[in-house]
Amino acid sequence: MTAYEETGLHITNVNLTIGDASILKNVSATVQPGEIVGLIGPNGAGKSSLLKSILGLVKLKSGTIKLNGHALSAMRSKDRAKLMAYAAQGSPLHWPLNVERVIALGRIPHLSSWQKPGDIDKTEIEKALDVTNCQHLRGRSVTTLSGGERARVLLARTIATGAPYILADEPVASLDPFHQLQVMEILKHHARSRGAVLVVLHDLGLAARYCDRLILLHEGRLIDQDTPDHILNAQNMTNAFRVAVSRWTDGKNHFLSTHPLPKGIPA
């Protein structure tokens, strides 16, 4: 095994079944340090299940997932939490906590049950507030936040863990275009400066714009993993998403638009 193979996140031949249903079928993929990788595929393709498999939230039928050469299944949960943070889809907030306290939850992996946050924890919380532009929100109750503010706060909680790897499940769902771009910028900044990001996206335009590589899943199988240019081709779009795609560039920005296949979309 070369040094290159040891660094990063390596998913090898992962199979996941829930009841009788086979959710993931022999999926293998990698995420390298510094990368922002998009996980795309139609609804029910197994994207969220793959994230949950990596995070150890579901029990695999077979396969291995290694981070920097260490099997994640063998790690203590708090050690794993220091390496990987999870931004859940539409993360619930059950009590009207202050923004600052919600972000401080990210430090839990570093604290024992009774331990109060120390200087390092406070520094990490400040950093997270800074990079997500949440400083002005710190005293607010999370129940009073707008959708965009809430998305940033939840991202800040993820970043405050100090974990190099962030796994985000549709972090831009139900956000307006400005806040979608803002969240993607934060994730990209994290990938470049502190680790790597694996992000589930439905917006293929954002995926093409921000991701270094894309992992395309369809019906629990890995179709391909490559640069957006290679993944978002007509064949993949037709087979996996059942839509046609047009891509063009004005020399500076890349554009992507989906439209019905010639045979149309059944109602």
Assess contact for 64 and 30: CB atoms under 8 A. no
DSSP per-residue codes, the chain: --HHHHSSEEEEEEEEEETTEEEEEEEEEEE-TT-EEEEE-STTSSHHHHHHHHTTSS--SEEEEEETTEEGGGS-HHHHHHHEEEE-TT----S--BHHHHHHGGGGGGS-TTPPP-HHHHHHHHHHHHHTT-GGGTTSBGGG--HHHHHHHHHHHHHHT--SEEEEESTTTT--HHHHHHHHHHHHHHHHHTSEEEEE-S-HHHHHHH-SEEEEEETTEEEEEE-HHHHS-HHHIIIIISSEEEEEE-SS-EEEEEE--TT----
Of 152 and 213, which has the nearer Cβ to another protein?
Answer: 152
Check residue 59 for interaction with another protein (CB under 8 A): no
Q: Taking the complex as a whole, how short is the minimal distance between the CB of residue 166 and another protein, in angstroms? A: 11
Of 159 and 214, which has the nearer Cβ to another protein?
Answer: 159
Check residue 178 for interaction with another protein (CB under 8 A): no
> 38: buried, middle or exposed (CB in 10 Å: 19+, 13-18, 0-12)?
buried
Check residue 96 for interaction with another protein (CB under 8 A): yes
Of 167 and 186, which has the nearer Cβ to another protein?
Answer: 167
Q: Given candidates 92, 262, 264, 266, which one binds another protein under the rule CB under 8 A? A: 92
x/- map, 187-206, another protein, by CB under 8 A? --------------------
Binding range to another protein, per CB under 8 A, among 7-15, 74-82, 183-191, 225-233: 74-82
Q: Given candidates 3, 19, 43, 113, which one binds another protein under the rule CB under 8 A? A: 113
Q: Given candidates 60, 93, 173, 245, which one binds another protein under the rule CB under 8 A? A: 93
Cα 176–chain centre separation: 19
Q: Given candidates 2, 21, 95, 264, which one binds another protein under the rule CB under 8 A? A: 95
Q: Given candidates 24, 65, 72, 88, which one binds another protein under the rule CB under 8 A? A: 88
Of 122 and 230, which has the nearer Cβ to another protein?
Answer: 122
Q: Taking the complex as a whole, how short is the minimal distance between the CB of residue 161 and another protein, in angstroms? A: 7
Among positions 125-164, residues that touch another protein (CB under 8 A) are 141, 143, 154, 157, 161
User: Which residues here bind another protein, judged by CB under 8 A?
Assistant: 52, 55-57, 76-82, 84-86, 88, 91-98, 101-102, 105-106, 108-109, 111, 113-114, 141, 143, 154, 157, 161
